[in-house]
Structure 1
Amino acid sequence: MTTIHLKTHIKAPILTVFDLSRDISEHEASSNNTREKAIAGRTSGKINLGETVTWRAKHFGIYLKHTSFISAMESPTYFVDEMINGVFKSFHHEHIFKQIGTKTEMTDILKYEVPYGIFGRVFNYFILKSYLTKFLLERNQHIKQLAEL
């Protein structure tokens, strides 16, 4: 299992950051490079507890689908999306929000397992972990820029 742990500090109220993090359109806007598009389940607005979204995106030159289920949510401090269909063996992404004075600390804890045995582990070690980290950093920067307007 691989874990990516990121913290982003944003000069905005916690509810603003929480809502931007759940917004389907903003997720699409933050992922221009991969052409992410919500194609099933919740395809617009803010995703909520018990809902799913299926994303179609181009990664490494191949169009892939990934369906996530919102398995936990405590507004405005926490939500979890988990893969229920996609290319990973497992994918569990915790989103944690904490108000600190006039700022919000947004924490991502992404835990995932790759398929394909040793080939998957080598791919993850040399390419995938840094690719996913960059993807999350770009998404978080997009949220930060919008929230701090």
Structure 2
Amino acid sequence: MKTYALKLKQNIPIGLDKAWDFFSSPLNLAKITPSDMNFVVTSDYSENTKMYAGMIITYKITPLFGIKMNWMTEITHVQDHEYFVDEQRFGPYALWHHQHHFKEIEGGVEMTDLLHYAVGYGVIGRLGNTVLVGKQIKKIFDYRVKAIDDLFGKYPAK
């Protein structure tokens, strides 16, 4: 099975505490996901719920062609104010391993996403990734960059 990797960095002009509070709340993921994905957290969590190792999060999503799907991830690792990892337990990918890293920098936080994923279905999956899935994932992460800038402001260029 072919795996793919995507690494993105974004500087955000907020403190580490504020960044951690926002990104470690499962309900905030919907705020930085394109609306056409109809992303809804179906787990019974409140705004104040913070991620912890072993946490299961369930969602409903519409990733492609209006097809509704259930998705389940587990938060497998958490190092407070440094990183957390979510892994798919059930959903559209053969593999989904997503690391979220946070590092305090001058004037804000550097957030790094490191995603490893696989589509499955052999050669058909590889073709599907080239034609559609990889582009859709990139579009989602590009949207996130803009949504985060809209929520917290753009980090000043040096």
Normalised by the length of structure 2, the TM-score is: 0.85
Contact 2:54-2:75 within 8 A present in 1 as well: yes
Contact 1:43-1:53 within 8 A present in 2 as well: no
Between the aligned partners of 2:10 and 2:150, the Cα distance in structure 1 is 12
1:75-90 to 2 correspondence within 5 Å? 75-90=80-95
Q: Structure 1 residues 95, 22: CA separation in 2 closer, same or farther (over 3 Å shift)?
A: same
2:40 maps to a residue whose letter is K
Q: Which residue of 2 aligns with 1:91?
A: 96
1:36 maps to a residue whose letter is F
2:24 maps to a residue whose letter is R
Q: Which residue of 1 aligns with 2:39?
A: 36
| Greater fraction of residues in strand | 1
Q: Report percent identity of matched pairs.
A: 26
Q: Which residue of 2 aligns with 1:70?
A: 75
Tell me which structure has the larger Cα radius of gyration: 2
* 1:142 corresponds to 2:144: no
Contact 1:27-1:139 within 8 A present in 2 as well: no
Q: Deviations over 1:80-139 (max 9, x none)?
A: 000111121111000011111122110000001111111111010121112112212322
The root-mean-square deviation of aligned C-alpha atoms, in Å, is: 1.8
Q: 121, 128, 134: which one pairs with 1:116?
A: 121
Q: Which residue of 2 aligns with 1:127?
A: 132
Q: Which residue of 1 aligns with 2:10?
A: 8
Q: List runs of 5+ in structure 1 lacking aligned partners.
A: none
Deviation, structure 1 residue 7: 0.5
SS of 2:53's equivalent in the other structure is coil
Deviation, structure 1 residue 8: 0.6
Q: Structure 1 residues 51, 42: CA separation in 2 closer, same or farther (over 3 Å shift)?
A: farther
- Matched residue pairs, number? 149
SS of 2:113's equivalent in the other structure is strand
SS of 2:62's equivalent in the other structure is strand
SS of 1:109's equivalent in the other structure is strand
Q: Structure 1 residues 120, 42: CA separation in 2 closer, same or farther (over 3 Å shift)?
A: farther
